[in-house]
Amino acid sequence: MTGNPFLQALAWLAEAAHWSGPSGIPMRTLEHLGYTALGVFVAALIAVPLGLLVGHTGVGKSVAIASAGAARALPTLGLVTLFALLLGIGLTAPLLAFVVLAVPSLLAGAYSAVESADPATVDAARAQGMTEWQILTKVEIPLGVPLIVGGFRGATVQVVATAMLAAYVGNGGLGRYIFLGLTSQDYPQMIAGSLLVIALALLLDLALLLLQRVTAPRGAKTA
Amino acid sequence: MSWVLENLDLIAARTGSHLLQALPPILVALALSLPLAKLANSQGWLRTGVTTTSGLLYAIPSLPLFVLLPGIIGTSVRSPLNIAIALSLYGLALMVPAASDAFRSVSRDVLSSATAQGYAPTARFFQVELPLAGPVLLAGVRVVAVSTISLVTVGGVLGVPSLGMLFVDGFRRGIIAEIAAGVVLTAVLAVLTDALLVLLGRALMPWTRQRSVRRP
C-alpha cells in the first residue's frame, strides 16, 4: 500500500461498514467503556473505603504509599497475559488486572484527600463535639473531594490503556483494531484504532479534570 | 520454574535489551526537562500550559502512541528508536512538571544572595540553583525511571525485544513461568534502579543524608 497512512486511516474511519454490527466502532467503544467502568468501579469498592480509613486513622500509611509506588513498577501487559493464562480466556482475567492497577491510584487519592484536611480544622470539628464518623463525612471528605476525583482520574487513565491489552487476550474493546491490524499488516487500521483509543482516553481525562474543578468546595484552596 | 533455568541466556538477553531501551529515554527526559522547566517557570501562563499538556500527554495510552509515532516521524513500528522516542515523551510528561516544582522550591533570597556574591548567571545555575533543586529533581527522576522500565514491556506486543517479549511468547505458548519471570524481573529492575538513584542522590547531595527534606 502506498500513500499517507494517516489519510488511509481516516478513510478507514469514514467507511460506513466500520460503524455498524458487533465489531463496529460504536460497539467496540461501548465495550471499552464498559471494561473501564467495571474495572474502576470494582477497584473503588476496595480502595476508597480503605484509603479513607488509612487517611483518617493514619494506620497503614507507609503500606499505602509503598503500594502506589510498587504498582507503577508492575508491567500491565505482564499482568494481563499472566492472569489470562491462570484464569483462562474471558473477562475475569483482564478485570483482575484492571483492579490491581487501579487500586493504588484510588487508594492514594482517598488517603491524601483525608490527610490534606487542615489539622486545625479537624480539631475544631472535634472540639465542637463531632463524632469521628461526622468528622470524616462532613469535614474531611467534602474538603478532599477533588483529590478523590483525582484518584479516579489516574485510575481511569491506567485502565483505559490496559483495557486495550484485553483485546490481546481475546476480548473486545478498541484494542481489537490495533491487534487485527498488527496481525494482518494493516497499518491504517492500527492507526485508526489508536486514534480512537487516544480520543477516548483524552475525553475521559478531560471530563474527570472538569469534575475535579467542579467538586472543589468553594473557599477551600484547590489541590 | 524449569523453563526459567533452561532459558537463562534468553532471559539475560531480554533483560539487557530492556535496560538499553529504558536508559536513554530516562536520560533524555531529565536533560530536556531542565531547560523546558526553566522556560515554563519564566511565565505564569506558560507554566499552566506546560503542566496541562504534560497531564494530557501522560493520559495517552502507550501502545497507540507506539503505533502512531512511526507515521509521524518515519521510523518503523518495530524500531527501538520509535519506542525510545515515545518513552522520552512520557518521561518528559512526568519530568517537566517535577523539574518546574524543583526550581520553584529554591528560595529566591538564596538566588539573590548568590548574585550579590558575584555569581554569573551560568555559574549560579550550576553551583547554586541546580544543587538546591536536586532533591525534588531526584524524586521526579525516580518516578520517570520506574514508569519507563515498566512501559518498555509494551513494545513486546509489537515485536521489539525486551522483557515484554517474555509475556508475548509465554502467552502464545502457554508458559506461566515465562510470564511470571518477566513480571518479576521488570519489577526487580525498577526497584534496583530506584535504589541506585537513591544512593546516587545521597552521594551527589550529601547534605540531604542527615535530615529528610521537610517543608512546613
Q: What is the pLDDT of residues A189-212, one digit of tens each?
A: 888 888 899 999 999 989 998 998
CATH code for the structural domain at B2-208: 1.10.3720.10
Residue A170 DSSP symbol: T
Q: Which domains does chain A have, with CATH numbers?
A: 28-214 (1.10.3720.10)
> Where does the pLDDT of residue A222 fall: very low under 50, low under 70, confident under 90, or very high at 90 and above?
very low
CA distance B10 to B15: 9
CA distance B162 to B155: 7
CA distance B97 to B50: 8
Question: A171 versus B155: which is more confidently predicted?
Answer: B155
Residue partners of A57: CB distance under 8 A and separation at least 6: none
CA distance B199 to B195: 6
**Of A86, A160, A206, which has the smallest distance from its Cβ to B176's Cβ?**
A86
Chain B residues in contact with A165 by the CB 8 A cut-off are 63, 157
Average pLDDT of the residues in A87-106: 87
Average pLDDT of the residues in A145-167: 89
Q: Nearest Cα to A193, choosing from A211, A206, A174?
A: A174
Region for A170 from its dihedrals, namely left if φ exceeds 0, alpha if ψ lies in -120 to 50, beta otherwise: left
Q: Which residues of A touch B (CB under 8 A)?
A: 5-6, 69-70, 72-79, 81-82, 84-86, 157, 160-161, 164-165, 168-169, 175, 178-179, 182, 187, 190-191, 193-195, 197-198, 201-202, 204-206, 209
Tens of pLDDT, residue by residue over B39-92, are 888 888 888 888 888 888 888 888 888 888 888 887 777 788 888 899 999 999
CA distance B139 to B44: 23
Chain B residues in contact with A73 by the CB 8 A cut-off are 146, 149-150, 186-187, 190-191, 194
Tens of pLDDT, residue by residue over A3-30, are 677 888 888 888 877 787 777 888 888 8
At residue B215, does pLDDT exceed 60?
no
- Residue B4 CB neighbours (<10 A): 17
CA distance A55 to A107: 9
Tens of pLDDT, residue by residue over B96-148, are 999 998 998 888 889 889 989 988 888 888 988 998 898 889 999 998 999 89
Q: Which residues of B touch A (CB under 8 A)?
A: 55-56, 58-65, 67-68, 71, 77, 143, 146-147, 149-150, 153-154, 156-158, 163-164, 166-168, 170-171, 174, 176, 179-180, 182-183, 186-187, 190-191, 194
Across the interface, whether the CB atoms of B187 and A86 are under 8 A apart is answered: no
The predicted complex's ipTM stands at: 0.80
Q: What is the pLDDT of residue A55?
A: 87
Ordered DSSP codes for A97-162: HHHHHHHHHHHHHHHHHHHTS-HHHHHHHHHTT--HHHIIIIIIHHHHHHHHHHHHHHHHHHHHHH
Across the interface, whether the CB atoms of A178 and B67 are under 8 A apart is answered: yes
- Cα three-residue angle A47-B143-A38, rounded to 5 degrees: 30
What are the residue boundaries of the structural domains of chain B, listed by start?
A: 2-208
At residue B95, does pLDDT exceed 90?
yes
Tens of pLDDT, residue by residue over B160-189, are 888 888 888 888 888 888 899 999 999 999
Q: What is the pLDDT of residue A223?
A: 43
